[in-house]
Structure 1
Amino acid sequence: MKGSSHTAIGVTVGAIAGFQVQPDLYTIAISSFVGGVSALVPDLDTNGLASNRITISKKFAQWLMQFVGIGILIAIAYQYFTKGFAPSIILYAGIGLLFFIVSRFITQRRTLTLTGVMVMWLGIVMHQSIGILLIGSYIVIASFLPHRSYTHSLLGLAFYAFILHQLQQEWAIEGLLIAGIAGYASHLVADMKLLPMNRRGVKWFAPLWNKEW
């Protein structure tokens, strides 16, 4: 199913869920947005449609890592010529060179991993937000998973529900939890093999049972 179809279904179920929580326009609007976004989250896995939308480009990732690596090396050189040699210089020089070397071999697939790491870093900056850290960890894990595997299962849904629960505690947004769960679950239902437009199904009970539904 196309991403636009998943989004439309997610917006619809999110709005319904929001209405059940609090039948006012603000809650319904927020819940619709959360449901639409959540309906795309399962496709953050490798080769998923959503993963290609949120990842930074390969060229930008290379430029960023090279910039950081060269910046570290310049800072070390400045310290060496102003304060003299210190054992820590060897460690930081190695880190700077590692950034530069890795930038030459990074692939588009690994930019999704890097995107997740950046989101985790954002969680640390934002007053150590556990919810944002968990979102970043979800992206990092998904970047190593084949398409329609664990993100398309009850295990993925449970992990996402835990993330939403944490975010709702931090942000106190009405309908966030139920709308997000509804949106995510709608993706799994829409990708089921029972529907005529799907050649493949989803492994609801992976890794315990790998039957496609």
Structure 2
Amino acid sequence: MNGTAHAAIGAAAGYVVANTVHASPSATLLLVGLGGVSGLIPDLDIDGKLRDRITLSHEVVRTVAQLIGILMIIYSFYEGNSKEKWLGIAIGIGMVAISSRIRQKHMLTITGIGVLAGGISLQELWLILFGIYILIASFVSHRSYTHSIVGVIFFGYIASKFEVSLGINGVFYTCLAGYISHLIADFKMLPFNKRGIKLFLPISSKEI
């Protein structure tokens, strides 16, 4: 199933939850949006449809990192004392060297690190956990752990903390329903799916 369909089903789930909890119009819009986004989250894994859409081009990040490295070398050379100068230059050279090896497949990992750092900076547990989720997703194959019960439980925990942070009733159920709707829509039993999902990983790798 394509991403648009997953988002639409997730949004519908959000609307149902909003009506169930008698949400205000503004909260209803939020829940519908969250449902749509949650319906796409499982595809954050490697080769998933969402991966390249939330990440910048690796060429952009590589260029920015190289520029930062060069600026660090120049700044350290002119402004640092003897010890700081050579340390700064070494770090700058390291950044240039490492950034030259960045490929598109690394971008989801970099995004996860950025989200994790943002969560730590903001002291938001749900954001920290979501950063960890993205990091894990960047290393697992498509339709594996993000499409399993383990993924549902982890994302559900993130959603529970997100609801606490926002203080809006229905956020947890919306996010969870949107996520689960994606998995159901990817079941092999449905005629439009050639592949299924490994729902019971790591206990079983059988597709359903």
TM-score, normalization by structure 1: 0.91
3-state SS of the aligned residue for 1:61?
A: helix
Residue 122 of structure 1 deviates from its aligned partner by: 2.1
1 CA distance for matches of 2:179 and 2:72? 41
Q: Give the total of aligned pairs.
A: 208
Residue 187 of structure 1 deviates from its aligned partner by: 0.2
1:115 corresponding residue in structure 2: 111
1:106 corresponding residue in structure 2: 102
For residues 59-208 of structure 1, the aligned pairs below 5 Å read 59-80=59-80, 84-86=81-83, 88-125=84-121, 127-208=122-203
Residues 94-103 or 105-114, more deviating: 94-103
Tell me which amino acid in the other structure corresponds to 2:159: L
**Kept in 2: contact 1:22–1:174 (CA 8 A):** no
3-state SS of the aligned residue for 2:100?
A: helix
2 CA distance for matches of 1:180 and 1:160? 8
2 CA distance for matches of 1:182 and 1:192? 16
Q: Which whole-Å deviations, capped at 9, do the CAs of 1:134-191 have from their partners, x for residues lacking one?
A: 2222111111111101000011111111111112222212211100000000000000
Tell me which amino acid in the other structure corresponds to 1:94: A
Residue 17 of structure 1 deviates from its aligned partner by: 1.6
**Kept in 2: contact 1:16–1:28 (CA 8 A):** no
3-state SS of the aligned residue for 1:105?
A: coil
1 CA distance for matches of 2:75 and 2:129? 32
2 CA distance for matches of 1:111 and 1:117? 10
Measured on the aligned residues, the alpha-carbon RMSD in Å equals 1.5
2:31 corresponding residue in structure 1: 31
Q: Which whole-Å deviations, capped at 9, do the CAs of 1:97-131 have from their partners, x for residues lacking one?
A: 22111111111010111111122222233x32222
2:9 corresponding residue in structure 1: 9
1 CA distance for matches of 2:177 and 2:24? 18
3-state SS of the aligned residue for 2:82?
A: coil
Residues 166-175 or 7-16, more deviating: 166-175
| Aligned residues with identical type, % of pairs | 38
TM-score, normalization by structure 2: 0.93
- 5+ residue gaps, structure 1, are none
2 CA distance for matches of 1:178 and 1:8? 16
Residue 74 of structure 1 deviates from its aligned partner by: 2.3
